[in-house]
Chain A
Amino acid sequence: DVKVTQSSRYLVKRTGEKVFLECVQDMDHENMFWYRQDPGLGLRLIYFSYDVKMKEKGDIPEGYSVSREKKERFSLILESASTNQTSMYLCASSWGLGTISYEQYFGPGTRLTVT
């Protein structure tokens, strides 16, 4: 069974704080992704990584950074949290080798509230 875990289910932070969200997968997947999901807006890709130390901007990277030092771990960093970053954050992973895009497996999500 594929397992993607996220460091927290619920998190409350203050405006201006630095926030770390961590994701770990146990399937030796090459690709890892960070999304946020807001009502009416669907899933929006923040960043993804297709290899260790590699990263690509998604659709909404502003205000976020990422780190992937080990294959199984992908961290999302909010350098200075703002109230408009209150959201559900979802991590996902997938196989990355081959000539098609494979299914992504999601972690349970972190509901972040910035006050």
Chain B
Amino acid sequence: QKEVEQNSGPLSVPEGAIASLNCTYSDRGSQSFFWYRQYSGKSPELIMFIYSNGDKEDGRFTAQLNKASQYVSLLIRDSQPSDSATYLCAAGGNFGNEKLTFGTGTRLTIIP
């Protein structure tokens, strides 16, 4: 059974600070990794994906992947109150027609 684990939180971070969200995955064969943001009552929205070891930056967001440790993280710089949401981590496999495995999400609250 493939698993993706996240700390459910809540994680509270002061406005302007860096928020760090972490995720581990059980299937060593996973090849693609995704971060989704979900506001309360809304559907998940893709914010980052990463396929290769290392860092990938997009604006205030940085995704980090360490395949040896089976660990993915999301850093949010200069956190804003609008970043308050639940963040879902997901891992994908070796085939295009495979489903993703989602974590249960980390609730992030940015404190003004």
Whether B96 lies near A99 (C-beta < 8 A) is yes
| A104 CA / B91 CA spacing, docked (Å) | 11
Name the contact of B31 in the complex, choosing from A41, A97, A101, A104 (C-beta under 8 A): A101
Is the CB of A62 closer than 8 A to any CB of chain B? no
Write out the residue numbers on chain B whose beta carbons fall within 8 Å of the beta carbon of A99.
Answer: 31, 94-96
* A residues 40-68 touching B (CB-CB < 8 Å): 40-43, 45, 48, 50-51, 56, 58
A33 contacts partner chain B, Cβ-Cβ < 8 Å: yes
Residues of B within 8 A of A30 (CB): 96-97
Contact of A103 among B34, B93, B94, B97 (CB under 8 A): B34
A90 interfacial by beta-carbon distance below 8 Å? yes
Main secondary structure of the interface of A (DSSP, over half): loop
| B44 contacts partner chain A, Cβ-Cβ < 8 Å | yes
Task: Check A106–B44 contact: CB distance below 8 A.
Answer: yes
Residues of B within 8 A of A109 (CB): 42-43
User: A107's closest neighbor in chain B, by CB?
Assistant: B43
Given A101-B99, A108-B42, A108-B43, 6 more pairs with CB closer than 8 A: A42-B105, A48-B99, A97-B96, A100-B92, A104-B100, A106-B44
Chain A residues within 8 Å of B, Cβ to Cβ: 30-31, 33, 40-43, 45, 48, 50-51, 56, 58, 90, 95-109
